[in-house]
Amino acid sequence: MGRSIEKDALELLTKENERYRLERLGLFRSVREEAAALASEYPPLEGESFFDWKTRCLREFYRKKGFSAFCRDNVRNPQFEAVTASILRLHLRRLFESSERTETDRYLAPDSDTLSYALEPEHFQELYTLNFSRMPSFGNTRELESFCRGLAADNFPVDEPRIIDGMKGNKGFYWEKFYLKLKPITAAFCYQMSGLAGDNNIHDIWSDTCISVNRAVVERRLKEPVDSKAVISYSVGVLKNKNKEIARSRAKAPTDIDLIQYKLTAEDEEKYFNNPVTKPENFPSHAGNLSSYIDFSDKDSVQGYFVVILYNKEHPLHDELVKGYEDKVQRMFEHYIDGLSYEEIVARHFGDMEGKELVKECARVRQEIKRLKTSLYDRYRKMIEKYR
């Protein structure tokens, strides 16, 4: 084999001990002592591969240690139960990652997590009692692994009614995963419907939504039969209603065109363009369905979406908004975004001027931008009515 037999034996038993907690369960007292004995009793045979040597060593080691009787003696040991649960979870994770996503997980589980292949504690106890009460004969850890792999394949994915019943019974195991599912959904609805951004604001809406949905399911308020789609649909309805309430509460007087914040603050940048859920490159085509993104009864919502379309060139309605005004919009951007003075804008676009000529041209550009703001907003109001 061309390797250090003592080192290989120690690595082999160390991995077995870490995975199956053999020393803690009492199969032996010292990994090093057992490894030294293993290396001495089972040296590699001539021409034997490392894999074949390892397999032979472990087979003989567990036979000599009486692993089958050891398992039977520990069937009611909580630590042995914990080892079995750990093995099951590992095989369930592999099963989850290699299987097509279930309908239950699509509606109830976070993107990278699962309910269908999750080992809920009471479910594990049922499986353990049914399959380990009369301990099968395991000659070694490979046979224990194989048995657990079979249990995973035979009993998962979990039937959706069992998961829904668990949620009705207020089992935190299922609810905690579903709450995580709602977090990014909450952030998206807050951004699109009420313009809310920031972890604290979104957390309040998310927390209230979680409480509302939990009560509705646990108190059996949803129409039977309840399934995963019904739960997520009810949650979305709660989110929409909460965001509409926020938008209505912020409704103010009609828009004063001079009060629109064209020079964006850092908070505006975060709210409109750096939101992790709806960055500009992720904008869907909003045309024809603006009622999903604007509360037309709320001035702030209407005004905020005007800023989104105007400043985001990737937005599908941007070109329609600025058509015919492109040069003027460019000069407005230079003033509000780049921070150029009117004198600098005049010099950049109309050449060097001095004295009264410069003052006159600056006044003209100032008035041009003021009239442009009115024209753009008037066009915007017509557009949102058209696509409403």
Predicted pLDDT at 313: 78
Query: So what's the pLDDT on residue 69?
Result: 92
Q: Which long-range contacts (CB under 8 A, 24 or more apart) does 324-331 make?
A: 325/372, 325/375, 325/376, 328/368, 328/369, 328/372, 329/372, 329/376, 331/365, 331/368, 331/369
How many Cα atoms within 13 Å fall on the side-chain side of residue 296? 13
The pLDDT value given to residue 291? 60
pLDDT at 385: 79
Crossing angle between the packed helical segments 5-20 and 50-65, to the nearest 10 degrees: 60
pLDDT tens digits along 142-183 = 999 999 999 999 999 999 999 999 999 999 999 999 999 999
Task: Write down the pLDDT at residue 261.
Answer: 55
Which one is predicted more confidently, 1 or 146?
146
Enter the DSSP assignment of 23.
H
- How many Å apart are CA 372 and CA 274, to the nearest integer? 26
Q: What is the DSSP letter of 257?
A: G
What confidence score (pLDDT) does residue 134 get? 80
pLDDT in tens, 22-59: 999 999 999 999 999 999 999 989 888 999 999 999 99
pLDDT 10s digits, 173-231: 999 999 999 999 998 888 777 666 656 668 888 999 999 999 999 999 999 999 999 99
**Straight-line distance from the first to the last Cα atom of the chain, in angstroms, rounded to the nearest whole number:** 75
For the chain, how big is the Rg over CA atoms in Å? 33
**Do 279 and 377 form a contact (C-beta atoms < 8 A)?**
no
- Compute the distance between CA of residue 363 and CA of residue 25 in angstroms, rounded to an integer: 87
What pLDDT digit, counting tens, does each position of 294-342 carry?
Answer: 666 667 777 777 877 887 777 778 889 999 999 998 998 888 778 888 8
pLDDT digits over 76-117, tens only?
999 999 999 999 999 999 999 999 999 999 999 999 999 999
Mean pLDDT of 133-147: 90
Who has greater pLDDT, 126 or 133? Answer: 126
